[in-house]
């Protein structure tokens, strides 16, 4: 669903890349790149605002510095103007309750793989004009890297390399020769707060890293999640809020959620009826909240597959209504 929305939003439209307006044209040809991608104007990289969170870790790597917005608690931030209108708009156009898009079935969720610093890089080929907003290969993606949905749908591939603590993500990925074919690709330096160039997408529609927003079993088993959680909505606004850098819609309705919007479970929502895995996740939604990362089903939030998930626990979250959330102010919209 997200891929169709991204294509529909930009076919023949004007997209801002680093402050320059260029036509977004579909192209079926394949482009292999091994040098820096070129745009019509110098892309602008910015440093996101200071936050007060802590850094989760994975594979010996901190998931961004402690002051990164992903690690920022939002339970004490002010409400965003129009919060009630945005929640009402979301509730009027689709699913109205939370839905964990992962669970006991290993086919659900977005998988990832942690590779050693010695993992050899392989060629990456991008479809059409995907090279224009992708970081050039090669990437250290192993030949047996897990592919989301077994290659059906968005088919994301997420690779975290130890040592360098760099994250590599591909969208609509398939094996090709000694490497991989994808529609978009992004490389993130998890030791830095640098964003993607403004106006650029990533393997996710908002230009964000995917792995950072997944609910992981190791975190839940430890009893706490210390980062924002990735969420999708079926209709979004043609705008973004940092750390997002890309829009994925042609809609200009200001009550729709822009990419990068942060939402939190209200302080007054009673969690006493929850237990186990659901309680850990809902507590994180109060403290760190949700971040809009893509177009998709309303209130669907994503996690990584694990044999440790308990569907009876997770299904408790389906009883939390969208009306129990509010929008917080983390900065102005762009785009």
* String of DSSP letters for 179-226: EEEESEEEEEETT--PPPPTT---SSTTS--SGGG-B-HHHHHHT---
Q: What is the DSSP letter of 128?
A: G
How many other CB atoms are found less than 10 A from the CB of residue 192?
14
The arithmetic mean of pLDDT across residues 278-282, rounded, is 98
Would you call 41 exposed, middle or buried from its count of C-beta atoms within 10 A (0-12, 13-18, 19+)? middle
Give the pLDDT of residue 22: 31
Asked if residue 169 is part of any domain, the answer here is yes
Are 229 and 284 a contacting pair, CB within 8 Å?
Answer: yes
Residue 307 domain boundaries: 50-328
Asked if residue 281 is part of any domain, the answer here is yes
Asked if residue 267 is part of any domain, the answer here is yes
What pLDDT, in 10s, does the model give residues 28-52?
333 343 343 333 334 444 444 445 4
Give the pLDDT of residue 53: 53
Instruction: Give the number of domains in the chain.
Output: 1
Asked if residue 101 is part of any domain, the answer here is yes
Asked if residue 144 is part of any domain, the answer here is yes
Q: Is 273 helix (H, G, I), strand (E, B) or coil?
A: coil
> What pTM value is reported for the model?
0.86
Are 102 and 109 a contacting pair, CB within 8 Å?
Answer: yes
Q: Is 26 helix (H, G, I), strand (E, B) or coil?
A: coil
Are 27 and 131 a contacting pair, CB within 8 Å?
Answer: no
What pLDDT, in 10s, does the model give residues 210-238?
999 999 999 999 999 999 999 999 999 99
- In angstroms, the CA 142 to CA 159 distance is 9
Instruction: Calculate what percentage of the chain has a pLDDT beyond 90.
Output: 83
Are 58 and 114 a contacting pair, CB within 8 Å?
Answer: yes
Asked if residue 241 is part of any domain, the answer here is yes
Asked if residue 55 is part of any domain, the answer here is yes
Integer angstrom CA distances of residue 125 from 134, 254, 271: 10, 37, 47
Q: What is the DSSP letter of 308?
A: T
Residue 270 has pLDDT above 80, yes or no: yes
Asked if residue 275 is part of any domain, the answer here is yes
Give the pLDDT of residue 94: 87
């Amino acid at each position: 669903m997200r891929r169709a929305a991204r294509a529909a939003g930009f076919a023949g439209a004007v997209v801002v890349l680093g402050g320059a307006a260029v036509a977004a044209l579909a192209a079926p040809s394949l482009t292999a790149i091994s040098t820096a991608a070129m745009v019509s104007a110098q892309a602008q990289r910015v440093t996101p605002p200071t936050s007060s969170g802590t850094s989760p870790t994975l594979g010996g790597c901190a998931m961004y510095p402690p002051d990164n917005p992903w690690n920022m608690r939002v339970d004490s931030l002010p409400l965003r103007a129009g919060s009630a209108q945005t929640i009402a708009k979301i509730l009027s156009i689709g699913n109205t309750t939370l839905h964990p898009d992962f669970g006991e079935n290993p086919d659900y969720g977005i998988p990832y793989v942690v590779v050693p610093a010695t993992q050899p890089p392989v060629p990456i080929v991008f479809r059409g004009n995907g090279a224009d907003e992708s970081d050039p290969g090669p990437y250290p993606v192993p030949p047996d890297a897990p592919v989301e949905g077994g290659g059906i749908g968005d088919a994301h591939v997420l690779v975290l390399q130890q040592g360098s603590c760099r994250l590599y993500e591909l969208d609509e990925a398939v094996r090709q020769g000694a490497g991989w074919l994808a529609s978009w690709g992004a490389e993130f330096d998890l030791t830095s707060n640098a964003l993607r160039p403004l106006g650029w997408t990533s393997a996710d529609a908002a230009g964000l890293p995917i792995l950072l927003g997944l609910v992981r079993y190791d975190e839940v088993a430890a009893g706490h999640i210390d980062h924002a959680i990735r969420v999708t909505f079926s209709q979004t606004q043609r705008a973004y809020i940092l750390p997002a850098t890309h829009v994925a819609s042609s809609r200009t309705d200001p009550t729709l959620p822009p990419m990068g919007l942060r939402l939190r479970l209200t302080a007054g929502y009673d969690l006493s009826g929850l237990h186990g895995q659901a309680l850990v996740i809902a507590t994180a939604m109060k403290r760190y909240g949700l971040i809009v990362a893509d177009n998709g089903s309303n209130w669907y939030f994503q996690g990584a597959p694990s044999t440790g998930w308990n569907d009876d626990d997770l299904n408790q979250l389906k009883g939390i209504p969208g009306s129990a959330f509010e929008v917080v102010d983390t900065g102005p919209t762009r785009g």
